[in-house]
Amino acid sequence: MIDPTSPPAVAKEDIGLNTSEVLVDQPAGDPVMRLRNVAVAFAGRTAVRDVTFDVHAGEITALIGPSGSGKTTLLRALNRMQDTVRTASVTGSVQLGDLDVYAPSTDATLLRSRVGMVFQRPNPFPTMSIYENAVAGLRFNGVRKKALLDEAAESALVAAALWDSVRDRLKTHASTLSGGEQQRLCIARALAVEPEVLLMDEPTSALDPIATKRIEELVGELKHRVTIVIVTHNMQQAMRVSDRCAFLLMGEDKAGELIECGPTAKLFSEPTDSRTLDYVNGRFG
């Protein structure tokens, strides 16, 4: 397995510090995103409501729950992707560090350079080469220095476990890659911008089991570099990959709500809420 931390100028081991404490901007464990009473509605009809929990630095937080419980809707509110939907309205507060994500003075474009996203189906830009895809986010944000572009691209492709297989064909089109490789390219593309948080919307649901496994391993290694929030409808995946889980369920009014949030191990073995217990025991899905 390739070392995802990529060769630093000074090896952290030399300084005697644990990697997870250094690579994430904030000390590990501190909340990097805080959600308070977040609700999303489309044309007045609430899709998810009253969500309150913290996303901790250096951890993988999974949003789990049956389909329709609003997991993806909530995820997309975190990087203001719901802004693109005319009928959407987001209430409550989302804080990224000391930035109020939904404050009028906050620029959504700049926010998205700090909170990246990987989508369910791999969506590399088909007219661009592998290299161009990897640096696309950097270019969008105004980075022009070739040295920086190359360095960030290589680091990100290494972190996505793609560098070795593509390093000799960086100029070829992204469409020549397999599905799993394309998704890893998308992950690299998001990582190249060096976001603080990476949102992943069911990143493996469109992939075969082998590709899924590779990406799950990848995600596990990435948490030293970015805080991850991952939506998954696959309980086993949540168990394998995440440090913390937030369980959402659709209520009678067809709006999703947060039932419980806590460390994964505890949530799956001794959940507080009976509905969580039912879900993790597979009584509905």
Q: Least distance to other proteins from the beta carbon of 192, Å? A: 9
C-beta of 201 vs 257, nearer to other proteins: 201
Among 90, 137, 84, 143, CA closest to 114: 137
In the stretch 46-85, what mask flags binding to other proteins with x, by CB under 8 A? ---------------------------------x-x--x-
User: Is the Cβ of residue 218 or residue 258 nearer to other proteins in the bound state?
Assistant: 218
CA–chain centroid gap for 271, Å, is: 24
Give the 3-state secondary structure of residue 164.
Answer: helix
Burial category of 186 from C-beta neighbours within 10 Å (exposed 0-12, middle 13-18, buried 19 and up): buried
Instruction: For residue 256, give every residue at least 6 positions away whose Cβ sits within 8 Å of its Cβ, in sequence order, or none.
Output: 47, 48, 49, 65, 68, 69, 70, 71, 73, 74, 248, 249, 250
Amino acid at 133: N
- Pick the binder of other proteins from 28, 241, 245, 267 (CB under 8 A): 28
Residue with tokens 């073995």: 269
Give the shortest CB-199-to-other proteins separation in angstroms.
8
> 157-169: b or e for each residue (b if 16 or more CB lie within 10 Å)?
bbbbbbbeebeee
Helices (H), 115-208: 130-140, 146-159, 163-166, 179-192
Contact 255, 46 (CB under 8 A): yes
- Does 176 help bind other proteins (rule: CB under 8 A)? no
Q: Which is nearer to other proteins, 185 or 255 (CB)?
A: 185
Shortest Cβ 183–other proteins spacing (Å):
12
Residues 135-174 that bind other proteins (CB under 8 A): 136-143, 148, 151-152, 155
Distance CA 282, CA 285 (A): 6
**Any contact of residue 29 with other proteins (CB under 8 A)?**
yes
Residue type, 13: E
Minimal distance in Å, beta carbon 190 to other proteins? 7
Minimum CB separation from other proteins for residue 214, in Å?
21
Within residues 79-108, the interface with other proteins by CB under 8 A covers 79, 81, 84, 107
> Does 187 engage in binding with other proteins (CB under 8 A)?
no
Q: Would you say 42 or 213 has its CB closer to other proteins?
A: 42
Q: Which residues bind other proteins (CB under 8 A)?
A: 5-6, 8-10, 12, 15, 17-18, 20-23, 25, 27-30, 79, 81, 84, 107, 109-114, 116-117, 119, 121, 123-128, 136-143, 148, 151-152, 155, 186, 189-190, 193-194, 196, 225
